[in-house]
């Protein structure tokens, strides 16, 4: 957006008017075929832009090509294909059975587009987390504004190009820019806000939404722990943890933040973790720094923050199992595993969001579960264990956005599962039908056929009075 604050605000208002003006018409004319056509256009354009997407993510934070294909391109394509396969069913009004009181009526639930949605996305998966929610918005029949993150400017520009190429500007617009653009957008009376980012900004978004009583979906972050139980397949636990943690250089909302490992398997787990890191990213410092499969830190301030976390932990007595090497120029921080951390250190207190993994040994699983319970609700909790009783115990007793058993990350790609958090990690859910529902309003439609409603109207005397009394008694049974 060009110009000073005045003109920028005016431009945004104009854009909002353009997008929301067609809402009434869209409710009747943006039906199954039109939504399908929009999704197909997005799919085709996304395919044409594979090269520019890969180049943009390389430029923004050295994200490896195959990771881009897997987590940015494939993830959105899968969301589109899934929506195309199920859209007709999702859109269909659903008949519901009559109840005793509504005898003689016909009832259905009709999903309708909420209207114009605002999608605010973060930098860490800049394509997936902008276009993924857009797929759901289009499937639901909404128009949308996307506000990508200013911290991944090349990716934001590609997202803007893809949208401009694939979709009409009175249906979707992309507003590049930083916090100031976000704030101006948050002043507008959108019909839904879908925000992905930090819990801190999530609170700002929810407050802004309250002013217009706009509904929100909040996809937030936090610390996602791994528990490696005494009955775990240790090799698998180590491999999955290393991959989940160091993909995207740890800058993933559902990355394992830290590991609790049963003392009885600690030594074996640490050895396997080191081996897994060596196999994935290289045997020594030089090989790891040269790995083409390991991303860089997004910007100097996050590089400083992460370097500070490592230095602070070491100064307070933590030791490195592996890693620690870094280069400020290229914003490289090696895959780093820390032992001997404690709850006073930043690495155990704050969301790490980088390639640093504290491993914390435990004696009793109960203690670990109590510690997780006492903290903010995690977005993901990962458990490595073969004993069914332990899996059931953790599943029953813990609360988190998702529970991954003997795996990390891949629940994100399972589109028949809702993806979201609870409490500090989010509100509402994305993906598949849950994404569609986030941008839809479920309208109740009740038609009278031969409902005996007249006897329920005053004057309440004689038979009518008795009837209401009997009904209340019958329903109260
Ligand atoms: N749950 C999920 O699906 C998910 C996915 C990815 C990232 N995350 C979380 O996102 C965070 C990292 O991403 P980030 O650093 O881009 O998050 P962020 O909250 O700093 O920024 C997200 C978006 O909000 C905008 N923004 C920032 N400050 C704002 C303000 N004061 N007012 C209005 N808008 C503002 C930014 O421009 C950006 O577009 C981590 O906490 C991570 O766990 C969650």
**197: CA distance to ligand 1 center in Å?**
3
List 9, 67, 79, 219, catalytic entry: 219
Q: How far is the CA of 330 from the centre of ligand 1 (A)?
A: 23
Confidence of residue 230 (pLDDT cuts 50, 70, 90): very high
Give the residue, out of 61, 122, 145, with the most ligand 1 atoms within 8 A of its beta carbon, to mutate for a pocket test. 122
Q: State residue 2's pLDDT score.
A: 53
Above 80 in pLDDT, residue 292? yes
Please give the average per-residue pLDDT across 468-477, as a whole number.
90
Q: Quick one: which atom of ligand 1 is closest to the CA of 401? A: 1
Q: How far apart are CA 358 and CA 339, in angstroms?
A: 6
Q: Give, using CA atoms, the residue closest to atom 40 of ligand 1.
A: 198
pLDDT in tens, 320-372: 999 999 999 999 999 999 999 999 999 999 999 999 999 999 999 999 999 99
Q: What is the pLDDT of residues 104-162, one digit of tens each?
A: 999 999 999 999 999 999 999 999 999 999 999 999 999 999 999 999 999 999 999 99
Q: What percent of the chain has pLDDT over 70?
A: 99
pLDDT band, residue 4 (cuts 50/70/90) = low
pLDDT digits (tens, 9 = 90+) for 416-439: 999 999 999 999 999 999 999 999
Specify the ligand 1 atom closest to the Cα of 379: 1
Instruction: Please tell me the distance between residue 167's alpha carbon and the centre of ligand 1 in angstroms.
Output: 25
What's the gap in Å between 201 CA and the centre of ligand 1? 6
Question: Which of 150, 175, 201, 377 has most ligand 1 atoms within 8 Å of its beta carbon, as the pocket-test mutant?
Answer: 201
Strands 105-113 and 94-96: antiparallel
pLDDT at position 5 is 63
Band (236; pLDDT cuts 50, 70, 90): very high
Active site (annotated) includes residue 219: yes
If you write DSSP's letter for every residue of 335-353 in order, what string do you get? -EEEES--TTSHHHHS---
182-195: per-residue pLDDT in tens? 999 999 999 999 99
pLDDT at 311 over 80: yes
pLDDT tens digits for range 41-63 = 999 999 999 999 999 999 999 99
Per-residue model confidence (pLDDT) at position 100: 86
**Considering only the top CATH level, what class is 225-420?**
alpha beta
Give mean pLDDT, residues 393-410.
98
Q: What is the pLDDT of residue 402?
A: 98
Q: What is the mean pLDDT of residues 197-208?
A: 98
> From ligand 1's centre to the CA of 220, what distance in Å?
8
Kindly report the three-state secondary structure assignment for every residue of the chain: CCCCHHHHHHHHHHHHHHHHHCHHHHHHHCCHHHHHHHHHHHHHHHHHCHHHHHHHHHHHHCCCHHHHHHHHHHHHHHHHHHHHHHHHHHHCCEEECCCCCCCCEEEEEEEEECCEEEEECCCCCCCHHHHHHHHHHHHHCCEEEEECCCCCHHHHHHHHHHHHHHCCCCCEEECCCCHHHHHHHHCCCCCEEEEECCHHHHHHHHHHHHHCCCEEEEECCCCCEEEECCCCCHHHHHHHHHHHHHHHHHCCCCCCCEEEEEHHHHHHHHHHHHHHHHHHHCCCHHHHHHCCCCCCCCCHHHHHHHHHHHHHHHHCCCEEEECCCEECCCCEECCEEEECCCCCCHHHHCCCCCCEEEEEEECCHHHHHHHHHHCCCCCEEEEECCCHHHHHHHHHHCCCCEEEECCCCHHHHCCCCCECCCHHHEECCECHHHHHHHCEEEEEEEEECCCCCHHHCCCCCHHHHHHHHHHHHHHCC
pLDDT recorded at residue 277: 98
Highest CATH level, class, for 5-220+428-441: alpha beta
Whether residue 6 is predicted with pLDDT greater than 80 in this model: the reply is: no
Question: Residues 249-277: what's their mean pLDDT?
Answer: 98
Whether residue 1 is predicted with pLDDT greater than 80 in this model: the reply is no
Quick check: 3 pLDDT over 90?
A: no
Ligand 1-lining residues (CB < 6 angstroms): 120-125, 129, 147, 149-151, 178-179, 182-183, 186, 196-198, 201, 204, 219-221, 253, 351, 353, 379, 421, 426
Domain boundaries, given as residue ranges, for the chain: 5-220+428-441, 225-420
Q: What digits encode the pLDDT tens for the residues 12-28? A: 999 999 999 999 999 99
Query: What digits encode the pLDDT tens for the residues 76-115?
Result: 999 999 999 999 999 999 999 999 889 999 999 999 999 9
């Amino acid at each position: 957006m060009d110009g000073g604050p005045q003109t920028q605000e005016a431009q945004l208002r104009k854009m909002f008017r353009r997008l929301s003006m067609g809402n009434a018409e869209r409710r009747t004319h943006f039906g199954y075929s039109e939504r399908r056509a929009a999704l197909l256009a997005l799919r085709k354009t996304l395919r044409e832009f594979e090269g520019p997407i890969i180049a943009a993510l390389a430029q923004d934070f050295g994200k490896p090509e195959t990771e881009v294909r897997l987590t940015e391109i494939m993830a959105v394509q899968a969301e589109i294909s899934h929506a195309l396969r199920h859209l007709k069913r999702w859109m269909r009004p659903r008949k519901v059975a009559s109840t005793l009181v509504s005898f003689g009526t016909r009832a259905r639930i009709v999903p309708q587009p909420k209207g114009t949605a605002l999608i605010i996305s973060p930098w860490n998966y800049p394509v997936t987390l902008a276009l993924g929610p857009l797929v759901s918005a289009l499937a639901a029949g909404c128009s949308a504004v996307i506000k990508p993150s200013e911290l991944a400017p090349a990716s934001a520009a590609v997202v803007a190009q893809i949208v401009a190429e694939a979709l009409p500007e009175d249906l979707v617009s992309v507003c590049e820019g930083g916090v100031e653009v976000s704030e101006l957008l948050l002043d507008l009376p959108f019909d839904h806000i879908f925000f992905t980012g930090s819990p801190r900004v999530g609170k700002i978004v929810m407050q802004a939404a309250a002013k217009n009583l706009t509904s929100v979906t909040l996809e937030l972050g936090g610390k996602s722990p791994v528990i490696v139980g005494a009955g775990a397949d240790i090799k698998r636990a180590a491999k999955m943890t290393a991959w989940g943690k160091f993909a995207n250089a740890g800058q993933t909302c559902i990355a394992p933040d830290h590991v609790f490992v049963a003392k009885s398997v600690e030594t074996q787990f640490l050895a396997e973790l080191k081996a897994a890191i060596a196999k994935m990213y290289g045997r020594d410092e030089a090989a790891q720094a040269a790995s083409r499969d390991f991303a860089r830190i997004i910007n100097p301030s996050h590089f400083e923050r992460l370097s500070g976390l490592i230095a602070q932990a070491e100064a307070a007595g933590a030791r490195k199992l592996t890693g620690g090497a870094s280069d400020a120029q290229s914003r490289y921080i090696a895959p780093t595993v820390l032992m001997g951390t404690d709850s006073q250190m930043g690495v155990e207190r704050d969301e790490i969001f980088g390639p640093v993994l504290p491993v914390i040994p435990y004696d009793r699983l109960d203690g670990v579960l109590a510690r997780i319970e006492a903290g903010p609700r995690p977005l993901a909790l990962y458990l490595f264990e073969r004993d069914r009783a332990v899996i059931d115990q953790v599943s029953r007793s813990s609360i988190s956005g998702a529970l991954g058993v003997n795996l990390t990350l891949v629940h994100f790609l399972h589109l028949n599962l809702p993806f979201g958090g609870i409490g500090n990690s989010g509100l509402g859910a994305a993906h598949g039908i849950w994404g569609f529902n986030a941008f839809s309003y479920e309208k109740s439609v009740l038609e009278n056929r031969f409902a005996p409603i007249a006897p329920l109207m005053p004057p309440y005397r004689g038979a009518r009075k008795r009837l209401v009394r009997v009904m209340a008694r019958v329903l109260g049974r």
